[in-house]
Amino acid sequence: MSVLFGHKEHLVRMAALFGVGVVAFLVLQALLVPKGFGVYGHYRAGALEENRARPVAFAGRAACVECHSDVPEAMKGGRHEGVRCEACHGPLAAHAGDPAEKQAVRPDSRVLCARCHAANVARPARFPQVDLVEHAGKEACTGCHKAHNPLAPAPAGQPGAIDTGGTK
Amino acid sequence: MNQDRREFLARSGKLLLLTGAAQVAFEAVLRGEPEAAPNYRTTDHWWAMTIDVEKCIGCGNCVRACKEENDVPREPFYFRTWVERYHVPEGDIEHPEVDSPNGGYDGFPEKYRSGDGSKSFFVPKLCNQCAHSPCVQVCPVGATFESPDGVVLVDKTYCLGCRYCVQACPYGCRFIDPRSETVDKCSLCYHRITRGLTTACCETCPTAARVLGDLKNPKDPIHEFLRAHKVQVLKPQMATGSKTYYNGLDGSVR
């Protein structure tokens, strides 16, 4: 016992050094570890918020039909009923936010329709697809088809009763 | 006296069960949401995606929409999602011919003929949102992580750009953004899905080949899809816990 406490000074010095070490560790940890690190896991909790805090480019169908309620009506029962607005019209969150600021552009039907309906052997065989030139020459697709309901009968005065056979 | 004893037992029980670190984590779970996220509780969701290969027509809408929504560099080879075209000679699933011109951004010019016994089809790819992600495991600084709602995210302000995760991802889903020299990848449109919207790719997919699902929502149609179809994940042998489920996936797909 006396052997141990005979060198009390050494013990105190060691304890002091240890104490300084602990304090230095805590200070460094507080300085170096970013805020929120470890709250949910081995990452900054704030990163979740940062990932969320970005503007959207596509408004989503619900926002479109708030004003354009006539379009779902026109698409009803048609082959394009399940296609959402921005699939063809492009990102329009800016338009949904302020209709005056950004206007939707009418896409070129020869380009737009071909993206899905130009014949391609890799497409599922049951998906309606045509050789564009053979099918329509240089005509715009919208000359015969209504984009919102492509197989609907042609309105009076427009060419082409559309053959609905063979597309299934 | 009796009340005191109960309290004492409860507290010591908690201390026994939950040591320091676990207790902090448990409290975070109880709180259930990142700060300043009023209507969205991360613990209420577990995001996943289903992809029906038999419905994909290779139009490239998802690729274009993704670049638009997430400000992905427009040059080729930077993609958060892309579409591959597989061409498999008859019966030879070991040697498929795979191409993905500009990730499918401009569609796929016809280059195969039918009738020679071969088959062709499109496979959309994106981050598989693995529950046990190899990319998260290798990150030396905790700049990429699995969020409590099951999305693998990147902390751009904390990423060093060391590229370990780019090599670790078995699906090739990560790239270094040349503007910031930090890693980027599909975030499953985290800024959209936490606001009640679907992802940009699902929003614009004309055939609903890709559908976002919440596995924690019992009313989500994803449950019916997973029941009704024989689904597969990519590279199941890697045990990544992928949450991107493919229907109609051919054995030739890597």
- Cite the DSSP H helix spans in chain A: 2-5, 8-32, 46-52, 61-67, 70-75, 85-89, 93-97, 109-117, 132-136
Greatest CA separation found in chain A?
116
- φ, ψ at A48 (rounded to 5°): -60, -50
| Interface contact A54-B191, CB threshold 8 A | yes
Which residue numbers in chain A have pLDDT < 70?
1-5, 153-168
Burial A79-104 (b: 16+ CB within 10 A, else e): ebeebbbbbbbbbbbebbeeeeeeee
Under DSSP, is residue B119 helix (H, G, I), strand (E, B) or coil? Answer: strand
| Interface contact A48-B34, CB threshold 8 A | yes
Contact between B104 and B65 under an 8 Å Cβ cutoff? The reply is: no
Q: Which two tokens stand for residue B122?
A: 């499109």
| Interface contact B61-A91, CB threshold 8 A | no
Contact between B116 and B97 under an 8 Å Cβ cutoff? The reply is: no
| Interface contact B200-A45, CB threshold 8 A | no
Q: Which of A47, A55, A83 sits opposite B155 (nearest CB)?
A: A47
- Mean pLDDT by runs of 10 across the 254 residues of chain B is 70 63 49 53 96 97 97 94 96 94 95 91 97 96 96 96 97 96 97 95 97 96 97 96 97 93
Q: Which of A38, A61, A87 sits opposite B206 (nearest CB)?
A: A87
Helix then strand then coil, % of chain A, to nearest 5? 45, 5, 50
A3 to chain B, closest Cα gap in Å:
38
Q: Which two tokens stand for residue B144?
A: 């990429």
Task: Give the residue from A123, A129, A148, A167 with the most B CB atoms within 10 Å of its CB, the best one to mutate.
Answer: A123
For residue A116, list chain B residues with Cβ-Cβ distance below 8 A: 57, 59, 206
Instruction: Report CA-CA distances (Å) from A4 to A12, A13, A17.
Output: 12, 14, 19
Please, which residues have CB within 8 angstroms of residue B220's CB and are 6 or more apart in sequence?
B213, B214
Contact between B66 and B184 under an 8 Å Cβ cutoff? The reply is: no
CB pairs under 8 A between A and B: 147
Side-chain-side CA neighbours of residue B54 (13 Å): 6
Burial A148-167 (b: 16+ CB within 10 A, else e): bbbebeeeeeeeeeeeeeee
- Cite the DSSP H helix spans in chain B: 2-17, 20-31, 61-70, 134-138, 164-168, 190-193, 200-204, 222-228
Q: Are strands B144-146 and B152-154 parallel, antiparallel or unpaired?
A: antiparallel
Q: Kindly provide the ipTM of the predicted complex, given to two decimals.
A: 0.82
d(CA B206, CA B34): 34
Q: Which two tokens stand for residue B109?
A: 């010019």
Under DSSP, is residue B50 helix (H, G, I), strand (E, B) or coil? Answer: strand
| Interface contact A121-B112, CB threshold 8 A | yes
Contact between B107 and B58 under an 8 Å Cβ cutoff? The reply is: yes
- Give per-residue pLDDT as tens, B94-123: 999 999 999 999 999 999 988 889 999 999
| Interface contact A122-B121, CB threshold 8 A | yes
Contact between B64 and B106 under an 8 Å Cβ cutoff? The reply is: no
Count of all residues that appear for chain B in the document: 254
Q: Which of B36, B69, B110 sits opposite A58 (nearest CB)?
A: B69
Q: Which two tokens stand for residue B206?
A: 């004309």
| Interface contact B145-A41, CB threshold 8 A | yes
Q: The pTM is what?
A: 0.84
